[in-house]
Amino acid sequence: MSQVRNEETPMDPIDVRRMLPRLLEHPSREVVTFEKGKVVRRSHAQVHEDVVTTRAALERWGIRPGMRVGIRAPNCYEWLVHDLALLELRAVTVAFPDDFAARPPDELLERYQLSLLLVPGRQREGHTNAALAALDGPNDGVRAIERGTEPPPESFDQPWLVFSSGSSGWLKGLVLNRRGVEESLDAFVRAARTRSDDSMLLFLPISNFQQRLMYYAAFWYGFDLIVTEPVHLFRAMKELRPTALVAPPTLYEAIETRFGNLPRSKQLLARVLGGIARRLPSRSARDAMARRIFREVHETLGGRMRFMVTGMAPTKRSTLELLELMRLPVFETYGVTECGSVSLNTAEAHRLGSVGRLLPGPKVELAPDGEIIVHREHMYATGYFECAEGENEKTFIGGNRVATGDVGRFDSEGYLYLVGRKKEIIITSGGEKVHPELVEAEIDRCPEVAKSVVFGGGTLTCLVAVVLPKNPDDVEAKRRIERHVEEVGGQRQSLRVGRVVFAQEAFTRENGLLRPNLKLDRKRIGDVFQTQLDRAAS
């Protein structure tokens, strides 16, 4: 994989206040979308024109600097255009994730003091509130609510209000700081070494602020962008052939599962040949041979991937090892919405199982209990505007420092490793503290395990694992999984699991076991399996 930066790509620091004129500096670069089943391509010059038109419409409706404008919609081209137009107007964008899908527009307008709420056209039908506007028109009679908002200073320090569930599963509202966001994005892009011939695929919800950073980067640094919804992900990869992708571990683990469904003889042959390929002296020869051996996987991803990032949750070690054998350029990263990107593995500096070395900007200290504390010169987020009582003070601890709630460690070469979540620590009946993530990582090493979730404490008298087998109907495979779990506990007492409860269906967003950001919803999984967990631990 080549990561040599194309010299024509400008690298001056990003300034979101100047995004509109920046589009004209690389007018031929494209935004590609699926619309009514067809591929639609728009140049940056066309994006510029559409943003100017949209800005004028927003002004006609009465939007002024400092006003709050909400957006509640699935991924679409209009989302990007309205977001850029609001930045141009110095209005504050409030992005609502799927969690707000059932909330009445009037309630959102009042609760969050919005002057305007933008939704898909079909959601505006039948509503009489003039402050409700369609992203994709028509928009007769729209009028913003005047709330006596003071215009922001020229620096426009707080353009965004966002919602994040983090690892808690409970939504929190964050006030983001422009300077901190720009510095974090700039450091990430420089480390990733984007090129002007790149094409980045965006498929996770744009309401997730990290996804919006992807199109800010594409527009500022000048590379192509593909925008789709999750349902069209594999079609977009195969047909539009992106070079860069940010995705949760579930996508990469799906590749491992598909490989694991092949006949064992075919798997063994591919692994043997892959091992031979990795010992070839030339990097290009290693890549070429791996592409032939694992041709189907590379073709599914489009055949041009050169930088794939994951890090929303822990990735199975077996998945990372298989992807490395396939010569797929997948790199783990670490960051949280409260403090931005913190660390990143790259082709030049990569340690399997770590989340990379620190990016320029953030400084990290480890608290006595191992909690990761991040310090930035310019805060990424200045605080919560909506959270549980005491949460703001517990997270934003002063001195431009953020307590992440993640427990980590560094190795001797500066690579950061995540151990688990501080609040997820299980205290056993014997008083021992156990990170469930460490136990899950060992269980997940079993090639027949798709995913495991470990519970303990409370009414449970021992650790209990909810395990999703790759083949839930294979009785013998379940027995092998149980033996593997016993062996794990036999090697280390702290990893001993007393009982295994088998799940019969995959953890998905649709059944509520994955949150919208595709992270495991531990609380929901615990609730669903509560009866079985209690029975197993008794």
**Bond prior to 138 in cis (omega within 30° of 0):** yes
- Asked if 130 and 63 touch (Cβ cutoff 8 Å), the reply is no
φ, ψ of residue 326 in degrees (nearest 5): -75, -5
Residue 464 pairs in a beta bridge with 455, 499
CA angle at 348 for the pair 343 and 352, rounded to the nearest 5°:
60
Q: What radius of gyration, in Å, describes the C-alpha atoms of the chain?
A: 24
Which pLDDT belongs to residue 160?
Answer: 98
Binned at pLDDT 50, 70 and 90, residue 5 comes out as very low
pLDDT tens-digit map of 318-357: 899 999 999 999 999 999 999 999 999 999 999 998 999 9
Determine the distance from the C-alpha atom of residue 381 to the mean position of all C-alpha atoms in its chain, rounded to a whole number.
17
User: Which pLDDT score is estimated for 537?
Assistant: 58
Looking at residue 9, what is its pLDDT?
Answer: 45
- Sign, CA torsion 509/338/360/214: positive
Identify which of 466, 445, 446 has the alpha carbon closest to the alpha carbon of residue 455.
466
Q: Coil, strand, or helix at residue 487? A: helix
Place 190 in a pLDDT band, splitting at 50, 70 and 90: very high
Q: Name residues whose C-beta falls within 8 Å of residue 489's C-beta, 6 or more positions apart in sequence.
A: 495, 496, 497
On whether the CB atoms of residues 372 and 194 are closer than 8 A, the answer is no
Q: Is the pLDDT of residue 392 over 50?
A: yes
- Closest CA relative to residue 305, chosen from 315, 297, 313: 297
In terms of Cα–Cα distance, which of 42, 56, 60, 47 is closest to 21? 47
Contacts (Cβ under 8 Å, ≥6 apart) of 362: 184, 339, 340, 341, 342, 374, 375, 376
Rounded distance between C-alpha atoms, residue 166 and residue 408, angstroms: 16
Paired sense of beta strands 330-336 and 307-310, if any: parallel
Residue 372 has pLDDT above 60, yes or no: yes
Q: How far apart are CA 288 and CA 276, in angstroms?
A: 12
Residue 7 has pLDDT above 50, yes or no: no
- Which of the four pLDDT bands, split at 50, 70 and 90, describes residue 169? low
Is residue 517 within 8 A of residue 208, CB to CB? The reply is yes
Cβ–Cβ < 8 Å for 42, 77: yes
Three-class secondary structure of residue 87 per DSSP? helix
Residue in 269, 268, 289 with CA at minimum distance from that of residue 278: 289
Q: How confident is the model at residue 458, as a pLDDT?
A: 67
Task: Find the DSSP H helices in 294-373.
Answer: 295-300, 317-325
Asked whether the predicted pLDDT for residue 461 surpasses 80, the reply is no
Range in 183-187, 360-364, 469-473 the model is least confident about = 469-473
Q: What is the DSSP code (8-state) at residue 197?
A: T
pLDDT of 99 reads: 87
Nearest Cα neighbor of 240 from 421, 40, 17 is 40
> What span, in angstroms and rounded, lies between the C-alpha atoms of 529 and 466?
8
Residue 2 predicted with pLDDT over 90? no
Give the pLDDT confidence of 86-113 residue by residue, as tens digits: 999 999 999 999 889 999 999 999 999 9
| pLDDT number for residue 31 | 98
Mean pLDDT of the chain: 91
Q: Which residue has the tokens 């295994």?
A: 500
Q: Is 106 exposed, middle or buried (0-12, 13-18, 19+ CB in 10 A)?
A: middle
Give strand pairing partners of 134. Answer: 119
Q: How would you write 406-458 as a 3-class SS string?
A: EEEEECCCCCEEEEEEHHHCEECCCCCEECHHHHHHHHCCCCCEEEEEEECCC
Rounded distance, CA 49 to CA 106, Å?
31
pLDDT at 62: 97
Q: How does residue 166 score in pLDDT terms, banded at 50, 70 and 90?
A: low
* pLDDT tens string 516-533: 666 778 888 888 888 777
The mean per-residue pLDDT over the stretch 157-168 comes to 83
Q: Look up the pTM and report it.
A: 0.88
